[in-house]
A and B are shown apart, each in its own frame.
Chain A
Amino acid sequence: MLGLTKKQRRNIKRTSLNILEWIFKLAVCVMFLFPFYWMVITSFKPYLETLQFPPTLWPETFTLSGYFTVFEELEVLRYIKNTLIVTGSVIVLQFLVNIPAAYAFAKWEYKGKGMMWAIVLATFMIPGQLTFMTIYYMFADWGILNSLLPQILPTIASAFSIFMLRQNFKQISDEVVEAARLDNASEWKILWRVMVPMAKSTVITTVLFSFIGHWNAYFWPLVMTRNEELKPITLAIDRLKSLEQGMNYTDIMAGNVILVLPVVILFLLASKKIIQAMAYRGMK
């Protein structure tokens, strides 16, 4: 430090602090990336290599046997099909149910509106973790347990979607609606041709949440399905653990990779949009 001016010394201090901060930030990145890295490389390790202690940080030999088990033995595509049918139907039906309801709550005054709104809000505090026990027997009475309907029907009406959409519709000025009415557009048309395009980003957000929520759905299908044929991808992956004696982490991690992959792709394509939507959701 001898022979340095005060300014130089301060600069050195600052750059070393900066470097330290960089190292910390990289460490955080590693902390959050590592479990995913571990998932992927374990899925390519042969079974015997997964048993080594200490574990290898890079597979000594690569194998695709985990993916073979997941696709051939577990036939994961069958379960993915179930998940996609459920998710797709829910998203379409959610459009038809939640968007009109949100529009009515946002733009019209009518008798009973207050009570209906109270019902919507009340459903916020009643999770499926409570209602499943009586719903299951209701579906048994209806005779639809042997279909995908128990996974679809209860999640169509979404208080969260209605809440978010109503908020957004309210922000659209009434003049826009009036102008469309003067053009003799029907209410239905106004909703889909004027309101929905103007609330596009909220609509996309709700679709995004639906997709991620249903792709990852675990509890609801667990309590609603007894029939193996009707189970979604999550329960299939969960079953890998009990498929063989002892834990075969090669297979299990291959299954997890398949489970996480679509979300990774979605995130890579639209991370900015997703982060905005999530931050918005958390703020409201």
Chain B
Amino acid sequence: MEQKKVDKPKKVRTKRSLSTKLTPYAYTMPAIILFLVFTVYPMINMIRLSFYEWNGLTEEKFVGLQNYNYLFNLQVDFKIALQNTLVYTVSVVFFLLLFALIFAVWLQKDSKINAMVQRLMFFPHLCSMLAISTVFSWLMDEEGLFNAVLSFFDLPGLRWLNDSTTAMMSIVIIAVWKGMGYHALILLSSLKSIPTEIYEAAALDNTPPVRKFFRITIPLLSPQLFFMLINITLSSFKVFESIRVLTKGGPGKSTIVLVYYIYEYAQSNLKYGVAAAAGVVLLIFLAILTVIYFRLINRRVHYQ
């Protein structure tokens, strides 16, 4: 505003502002174009494809809502996949949050051994799911170490991944083992941000530890816990790698999940329309969760 009063530099200003008017676009456009070409357009194309019948080779044929009818009415596979995904997601969310909370509270004191335990717990998060899954499939082999331990205690061995009743449980165990340390770590850093005065006040009042935990720790962590809940739900809905490496959806259909269903229909069955329709259903789930997620981020920023 002040510059308006001065006459001379005005010319220079306008000249410069013309170029500065264009530079933001030059800086943003590469990313935006890449997003449009590799994310937005393929998604719109997928939604369109969900109304067509296509095998990847012949002409596309418009079939209206027939693919959706196929998913929900003609066949049980999709409903099983949906159900399995929900079972997987609910179990992973529950056990990850529970264990992360227990370990975060247990390991919150600054000490060498706590730092070491935290690090060891965290490391699997960085490793390839393929490698982790493979090691566990070896441990869970019918003649593997887990059963050897069970038989040592005179317990009957389990068939783990080879039995339709225990396969999903085994996959959940692996996911929880892998993600526990990471989520404990996030909770630990928010625990550290709780002002110590609050605990000191509680100590003066002689509040018992269990009460302190439920009355102070949990409420103060609740925004973070809810945030993690959404995050884990989002990633659990997309579970694929462990399923593909370990069970390929089996035994029977006991571990077919949404993304695996989509993958099968697109890669092996070459029914792209059905795969796309299943993709649209997954997209709706993800969209709802993402909107909640960003609402939360915004609210948190405002409070800070």
Bound-state CA distance A42–B43 (Å) is 44
Bound-state CA distance A125–B35 (Å) is 12
Tell me whether B276 and A153 are in contact (CB under 8 A). no
Tell me whether B262 and A110 are in contact (CB under 8 A). no
Tell me whether B262 and A129 are in contact (CB under 8 A). yes
Tell me whether A98 and B31 are in contact (CB under 8 A). yes
A116 contacts the other chain (CB 8 A): yes
Tell me whether A256 and B131 are in contact (CB under 8 A). yes
Tell me whether B297 and A101 are in contact (CB under 8 A). no
A135 contact set on B, CB distance < 8 A: 38, 42
Bound-state CA distance A33–B24 (Å) is 49
Query: B119, B130, B228: which contacts A216 (Cβ < 8 A)?
Result: B130
B220 contacts the other chain (CB 8 A): no
Number of interface residues of A (CB under 8 A): 83
A253 contacts the other chain (CB 8 A): yes
B95 contacts the other chain (CB 8 A): no
Tell me whether B130 and A282 are in contact (CB under 8 A). no
Tell me whether B185 and A100 are in contact (CB under 8 A). no
A153 contact set on B, CB distance < 8 A: 34, 38
Tell me whether B28 and A105 are in contact (CB under 8 A). yes
Tell me whether B290 and A218 are in contact (CB under 8 A). no
B138 contact set on A, CB distance < 8 A: 38, 42, 249, 252-253
Tell me whether A134 and B46 are in contact (CB under 8 A). yes
B36 contacts the other chain (CB 8 A): yes
A203 contacts the other chain (CB 8 A): no
Tell me whether B144 and A218 are in contact (CB under 8 A). no
Tell me whether A278 and B43 are in contact (CB under 8 A). no
- Near B by CB (< 8 A), chain A positions 120-167 give 120-127, 129-135, 137-138, 153-154, 156-157, 159, 162
Question: Binary interface profile of B, 42-69, with partner A (CB < 8 Å = 1, else 0)?
Answer: 1101100100000010000000000000
Question: Binary interface profile of A, 189-223, with partner B (CB < 8 Å = 1, else 0)?
Answer: 00000000000000000000000100110110011
Closest to B187 in A: A282
- Near A by CB (< 8 A), chain B positions 180-225 give 181-183, 185-186, 188-190, 224
A133 contact set on B, CB distance < 8 A: 46, 49, 262, 266, 272, 275-276, 279
- Near B by CB (< 8 A), chain A positions 203-258 give 212, 215-216, 218-219, 222-223, 234, 237-238, 241, 249, 252-253, 256
A159 to chain B, nearest CB (A): 8
A40 to chain B, nearest CB (A): 10
A3 contacts the other chain (CB 8 A): no
Tell me whether A283 and B190 are in contact (CB under 8 A). yes
A58 contacts the other chain (CB 8 A): no
Interface centre among A112, A156, A157 (most CB of B within 10 A): A157
Bound-state CA distance A249–B138 (Å) is 8
Bound-state CA distance A143–B117 (Å) is 50
B34 contact set on A, CB distance < 8 A: 97, 153-154, 156-157
B114 contact set on A, CB distance < 8 A: 25
Please count the residue pairs between chain A and chain B whose beta carbons lie under 8 angstroms apart in the complex.
230
Query: B42, B119, B279: which contacts A271 (Cβ < 8 A)?
Result: B119
B134 contacts the other chain (CB 8 A): yes
B90 contacts the other chain (CB 8 A): no
Bound-state CA distance A278–B103 (Å) is 17
Question: Binary interface profile of A, 74-118, with partner B (CB < 8 Å = 1, else 0)?
Answer: 000000000000000000000011101101110010101100100
A266 contact set on B, CB distance < 8 A: 126
Tell me whether A282 and B182 are in contact (CB under 8 A). yes
A259 contacts the other chain (CB 8 A): yes
- Take A98-B31, A104-B24, A134-B45 as given contacts and tell me if A223 and B130 are in contact as well, using a CB distance cutoff of 8 Å: no
A81 to chain B, nearest CB (A): 18
A68 contacts the other chain (CB 8 A): no
A39 contacts the other chain (CB 8 A): yes
A-B contact pairs, 17 of them (CB 8 A): A29-B120, A31-B177, A32-B181, A35-B135, A100-B28, A100-B31, A108-B23, A110-B21, A116-B28, A123-B35, A123-B40, A125-B286, A130-B46, A135-B38, A260-B127, A264-B123, A284-B297
| 8 nearest CB pairs, A to B | A282-B186, A157-B34, A54-B148, A125-B290, A131-B42, A100-B27, A101-B31, A104-B27
Which residues on A are within 8 Å of B, measured CB to CB?
22, 25, 28-29, 31-33, 35-36, 38-39, 42, 51, 53-55, 96-98, 100-101, 103-105, 108, 110, 112-113, 116, 119-127, 129-135, 137-138, 153-154, 156-157, 159, 162, 187, 212, 215-216, 218-219, 222-223, 234, 237-238, 241, 249, 252-253, 256, 259-260, 263-264, 266-267, 271, 274-275, 278-279, 282-284
Which residues on B are within 8 Å of A, measured CB to CB?
20-21, 23-28, 30-32, 34-36, 38-40, 42-43, 45-46, 49, 56, 103, 113-114, 116-132, 134-136, 138-139, 143-145, 148, 151-152, 177, 181-183, 185-186, 188-190, 224, 228, 231, 238, 240-241, 244-245, 259, 262-263, 266-267, 272, 275-276, 279, 282-283, 286-287, 289-290, 294, 297
Sample of 5 more A-B contacts, CB < 8 Å, known A104-B27, A234-B128: A53-B143, A101-B32, A124-B294, A134-B43, A282-B189
